[in-house]
Amino acid sequence: MAKIKIGIPRSLFYYYYKDIWKYFFDEFNIELIISPPTNKTIMENGIKFSIDEMCVSMKNYIGHVYYLLDKCDYILIPRISNYGNDNQTCTNFLATYDIINNIFDTKILNYNINLENNETEEKGLIKIVTDFGYSKEYAKKAYKNAIKKVKQKNDKLIKDNIKKLDSEKTKILLIGHPYNLYDNLIGKEIIKYIELNDTEIIYSDLFHKDITNTLSKKLSYSLYFKYNKENIGSIPLVEDKIDGIIFISTFPCSPDSLVNELMFRKLKKPYLNLIIDDLNSMTGIETRIESFIDIIKGGVINE
């Protein structure tokens, strides 16, 4: 059987699930074709096929899908609704499959994550490979092995992130979704500039998710956005060890605009809110970051 090529857009879902996909599909005669780091061409193509009301992150994802169209047999796009009643996702995570299916004529592999309906990642991935003719028992074993490897990798990343809290440098808690923080065009340049100012970055997504999800209730008991809860739950976890907080989001993200605004009213630490829309220039962002860090180092506290 010829090797199956599955395309993975390097955006949105990729930054949450890339490791499980890699470790799982490596067990089969399947090749993952991952789109390259975001560049201006990818973003411009995404904008071309988008409507104005879409957030920058969604436009970015569409650009990555466009890049993959003629390079693989299928494009993998999960449909993620919730991880339980009080752990919902952004509507984009639910609608992405339908958005792409209506924009492009391409073959899509998809599976549902909806714990309220007992639809899980494990069931979805196993169905994909069994539909390709692989044994269900082998697929179950491959999934368990993949989960084990993911946990080992994540535990090390979390350990390294926590260790940075002991640094003598000015410590900044960077809050944002990984598909923004680690994207080559959206967050990478911001991270580089923060680091140039002799700071230590603590990442909100590199803590144990069950802990930060629970701690988010100290800031708001009624929130139900899973990824936002995990992000803001890092605040009470490390608040007494950091010097300031930087929020990064893309315009016009509805969950971020709601949750971040709520946080600003409750924070005791200095904070800076960066909303990324125009990606043509970093000048204004660099000036704001430099001023913010100077204020922190100068001992001026934002009450």
Flag whether pLDDT at 42 surpasses 90.
yes
Distance CA 181, CA 177 (A): 6
Answer yes or no: do 145 and 171 share one domain: no
How many Cβ atoms are within 10 Å of 109's Cβ, its own excluded?
20
Say which residue the tokens 């609704």 belong to: 81
Distance CA 275, CA 237 (A): 24
Cis geometry, peptide bond prior to residue 78 (ω within 30 degrees of 0): no
Q: Which positions ≥6 away from 219 have C-beta within 8 Å?
A: 232, 233, 235, 236, 262, 263, 266
CB 289 within 8 A of CB 194: yes
Answer yes or no: do 192 and 147 share one domain: no
Please compute, for residue 75, the number of CA atoms within 13 A of its CA located in the half-sphere on the CB side.
28
CB 68 within 8 A of CB 35: yes
* Res. 280 pLDDT band, cuts 50 70 90: low
For residue 284, is it within any domain?
A: yes
Say which residue the tokens 């993911």 belong to: 150
The number of distinct structural domains making up the chain is 2
pTM above 0.85, yes or no: yes
Answer yes or no: do 273 and 201 share one domain: yes
Domain range spanning residue 249?
167-297
Answer yes or no: do 173 and 273 share one domain: yes
Distance CA 290, CA 283 (A): 11
Q: For the residues of 76-137, what is the DSSP string, one character each?
A: E--EEEESSTT-B--HHHHHHHHHHHHH----EE--EEEGGGTB-HHHHHHHHHHHTT--HH
How confident is the model at residue 223, as a pLDDT? Answer: 92
For the chain, give the percent of residues with pLDDT over 70. Answer: 97
Indicate which CATH number applies to the domain containing 50. Answer: 3.40.50
Question: DSSP label at 38?
Answer: P
pLDDT tens digits, 133-189? 999 999 999 999 999 999 999 999 999 999 999 999 999 999 999 999 999 999 999
**End-to-end Cα, the chain, rounded Å:** 64
Q: What angle do CA 78, 103, 181 make, to 5 degrees?
A: 50
Mean per-residue pLDDT over the chain, rounded:
94
For residue 160, is it within any domain?
A: no
Q: How far is CA 145 from the centre of its chain?
A: 23
Distance CA 188, CA 83 (A): 29
For residue 156, is it within any domain?
A: no
Question: What does the pLDDT average to over 54-81?
Answer: 97
* Res. 303 pLDDT band, cuts 50 70 90: very low
